[in-house]
Structure 1
Amino acid sequence: MSIKRMSLRFNLDNEADRKAWEHLKNITDSKNKTVIATVNQFYEPHTEITETIKETIRECLQNFSAIKTETEQSPELLTEDENLLLDSLDDFLGDGRH
């Protein structure tokens, strides 16, 4: 059996370290098992809760259907003044038909 040892230090002046220490010091079970389980959950996030969430979403959406209706947009009609303005802009800027 191969055993690897690791030592942890907690700087209680650092908020993240202090929070971690507070959590660990209140554990009544094996701190070693807790740390191992936590590291594994962090690096393997697809746990039972993920599958439960996916299944819940599937169940909620199984009878859902969406229908997209197309609405025809009528072309925007310009007033005579707007058409004259656009014509004068074409003349001023050049309409590319020369």
Structure 2
Amino acid sequence: MNIKRLTIRFNLQNEEERRAWEYLHSRDGPSLSKDVIRILNAAEQYEDLQMLIRQTITEALQGVTVPASLPAMAESADSIENDTVMLDFLDGFL
């Protein structure tokens, strides 16, 4: 069996480390090691998902221009059409 050992220390006077210590010890999981492994893997998946969402939004908004200022006049047909297109795009996320 190929097992790697890791030792970690928590400074309970440090707010962030104390919160992490309390969180880990409030769990009713089978083992502390398994909880830490699960949390690390979930964090990696969250980062991957966050990057994918950013990339998708960036690609979807390429070529979209936003006016520097909104006209004070009544909405034109082009403006209404742009609003409709944008709302349809946003509905795709539901």
TM range (shorter): 0.3 to 0.5
Higher normalized contact order (CA 8 Å, seq sep 6+, divided by chain length): 2
Q: TM-score, normalised by structure 2?
A: 0.47
Question: Comparing both structures, which one devotes a greater share of its residues to helix?
Answer: 2
Q: TM-score, normalised by structure 1?
A: 0.46
